[in-house]
Chain A
Amino acid sequence: MFSSIKNVGLCGCLVLILGVCGVSAPVDMPPSLLFGGSAQKFEIDRGLDQDQANIQILDDFYKSREIDDEFTNTIKEEIASYGLGYLQGRFRLGLGIGNTFAAISSGFCANKNNAATDFCVFWAQCGLLINLGMLSASSLDLLYAKLSKSYNELPKGSFEGTNQKILEDELDLKGSIVGEGVHWAGKITTTAELKTFLNTIDETTTITQLEQKGIKSFFRGTTRSKADNSLFPGNLNTQVFGISTSTDPIKATIFSIESATSNGAYKGVLQIGLPNDLKNIALSAPNYRVAKELEVVLNTPASNFANLSKVEISVENARKLVKEVYGVDLPTNLPRSYADELLETIPESSLDKAFEFYQKAIQYNIK
């Protein structure tokens, strides 16, 4: 399958350039403009409109890769069903991931190993397709199966260890996305979608993208000193790798209760930040238990989040609001053995309910 790179389609080389340069496009720009004049010329030469051109690119690409028609047909059907607006919608969210793919691919190419180079061009093309918003959950499913198979066929030792691990991570990430059926267009409507989406966050994701998916508030349960009201700065890991917030006020309140319970010198507080105030903060990949905690890791000190947060309320008022908004009666003290159990058993907040919680919390703001 990867015997030669001579037949690689047009898009592979282009996405490598895009990825390496970190090129991004304005949200409403048609996908073909990503290519500059080349893509338009490609379309004009063939007398195609934009959607037809996209399909043609895919046709050429997959014929050259000796891949069956199933994948291409799936994408064709999606284009036919949803049209360009759909592609553009997904293009927004696919951008970061696509560039990551392309960047990884360029790293492999640098190894100058034939098999690796061929594979990485294929991989880069996947990045392009994601950038174009041409991959949805169903087509990613097929793509992932093909990538996994192809990857396993490669002779081991083709890649430098680090790059190989990154590739495995990305394959695994895509597998997770596919398995749970995330659609990249539109807002998150279910907790399952939220969990899957949160698991895809990395340093290329922005707060604005989270807001576009419907995440309107970020909650951090922490503590302040009873003596001087100083904020708990977090431990060394927090300071180096970022602070944990949650999209779910119940979970954040549990963390606050637990922290205050384990240290009598501290009182619990719940801080709430809004996307507009946090938009300049970089994100980091979540920890493994993101699905249990609905975690978003912000790469900033605890003190900065505290400063930027619109609202801070006492843990007592947070408990009161959890009862009012969700009907959940959280205990005043939480031994460590029970906090984790509670995280498992309490209902999870929808994004809309979380925002409602924020709106109600304003009345208790102590900032």
Chain B
Amino acid sequence: MEIETREFKHSHLVKVKGRLDSATSPEFAKALNELTNHGHYKIVVDFKELEFITSAGLRVLINTQKTCKRYNRGEVVLSSVPSNIYASLDLAGFTVLFKIFSDELTAVGNF
């Protein structure tokens, strides 16, 4: 798995590539905690090059969403979600908890 974080004027973009499972989710959590610990609660997570996600990765997403939405200070949105990944989000009942955008620029523009 590879993670790349970019800063925009009103949000941060986190691009995740490869495989997000029990082995790699701690690193994903670390990248997101790095943002929220510094008071950045408006986050776009781009899944364009994500190949695989398990419940371990989904747990990180939901925990970060809880942190970001507290006090209405921000939220995590998703972009470029491949169909297999979308199916897992749907199976977990997550599609109502995250806004999903077709591409990263639209998602960044949402903030």
Indicate whether A and B interact. Answer: no
CB within 8 Å of B: which residues of A?
none
CB within 8 Å of A: which residues of B?
none
